[in-house]
Amino acid sequence: MKTNKLIVALDVETAPEALKLVSELRGIAGMFKVGMQLFTSAGPTLVREIISSGERVFLDLKYHDIPNTVALAGVEATRLGVSIFNIHASGGGEMMRRTADAVARCADAEGLARPSIIAVTVLTSANANTLGELGGTSSAKDLVGRLALLAEASGMDGVVASPREVGVVRAAVKKPGFIVVTPGVRPAGAGLDDQKRVATPREATLAGADYVVVGRPILGASNPAQAAQEIIEEMEINSATSAA
């Protein structure tokens, strides 16, 4: 199992707030996620600063554009030194393939580490109504399975999926080492915020998630380090139980 499955979403407004959380959670969080709010506010300078302080970054910008544009954005994410970045599987196979190829070529040519590229299947805030609004007739589960298979066939290293759909991904994709990252994780008793297809950290890892992403339950806690530690402990009990 991975040493630390917890990715903390740095969903804050400014670089100083983000850096304060990084220092409070150093040695507790396995990775820090920089998403569109913080990246729009603080940009690549902050990402470089977090990485040069020795921490790993998941760049969560969910690229979705024409294949050439996404591939070139992926090259810049590689140069930035992030450990993981993501793109929308619904952007299609060509977009994912071209990105995987461009990233591998850039990493080889420039002697850089190749980041893992993961594909967003169906957002954890989406439910049947949301899919219906978009004209979809498939259930979230069917769509997640289909997009996960497409992502695997298109050279992705893994997917982002709701904890409730990890089983669907594992059943569909047999590739060893295929990463499943699950947001929409809520410790028992925590509020849901805008997340709809949620599970506890224990349920997410028992279902086979490699990483869980947690934002508001940690950021909104009076003691973020303690909240993060409790989530890790819950997942460790879980691994010990499943290994037994």
By annotation, the residues acting in catalysis are: 62
Q: How many residues does the chain have?
A: 244
Size of the site for ligand C5P (CB under 6 A): 16
Stretch that binds ligand C5P, among 45-53, 148-156, 212-220, 236-244 (CB under 6 A): 212-220
Q: How far is the CB of 7 from ligand C5P (least distance, A)?
A: 9
| Residue from the set 216, 229, 230, 232 that interacts with ligand C5P by CB under 6 A | 216
Q: What is the DSSP letter of 88?
A: E
Interface with ligand C5P, residue 124, by CB under 6 A:
yes
Rule CB under 6 A: which of 3-62 touch ligand C5P? Answer: 9, 11, 35, 60
Cα angle value 156/134/36 (rounded, 5°): 55
Count H helices and E strands in the chain, helices first: 10, 8
Q: At what angle do helices 93-110 and 67-80 cross, to 10 degrees?
A: 40
Q: Give 153's Cβ-side CA count (13 Å radius).
A: 11
Q: x/- contact string, 70-89, with ligand C5P (CB under 6 A)?
A: --------------------
Stretch that binds ligand C5P, among 47-55, 135-143, 168-176, 209-217 (CB under 6 A): 209-217
Interface with ligand C5P, residue 215, by CB under 6 A:
yes
Nearest residue relative to ligand C5P (C-beta): 215
Q: How far is the CB of 9 from ligand C5P (least distance, A)?
A: 4
Q: x/- contact string, 159-198, with ligand C5P (CB under 6 A)?
A: -x----------------------xx--------x-x---
> DSSP 3-state assignment of 7?
strand
Q: Answer whether 87's CB lies under 8 Å from 62's CB.
A: yes
Q: At what angle do helices 36-52 and 15-25 cross, to 10 degrees?
A: 50
Interface with ligand C5P, residue 120, by CB under 6 A:
yes
Stretch that binds ligand C5P, among 39-47, 68-76, 135-143, 211-219 (CB under 6 A): 211-219
Q: How far is the CB of 241 from ligand C5P (least distance, A)?
A: 24
Please state, in angstroms and as integers, the Cα–Cα distance from residue 63 to each residue in 57, 60, 153, following that order.
16, 8, 18
Burial 30-67 (b: 16+ CB within 10 A, else e): bbbbbbeebbeebebebbeebbeeebbbbbbbbbbeeb
Interface with ligand C5P, residue 224, by CB under 6 A:
no
In whole angstroms, what is the distance from residue 31 CA to residue 104 CA?
22
Q: Contact positions toward ligand C5P, by CB under 6 A?
A: 9, 11, 35, 60, 120, 123-124, 160, 183-184, 193, 195, 213-216
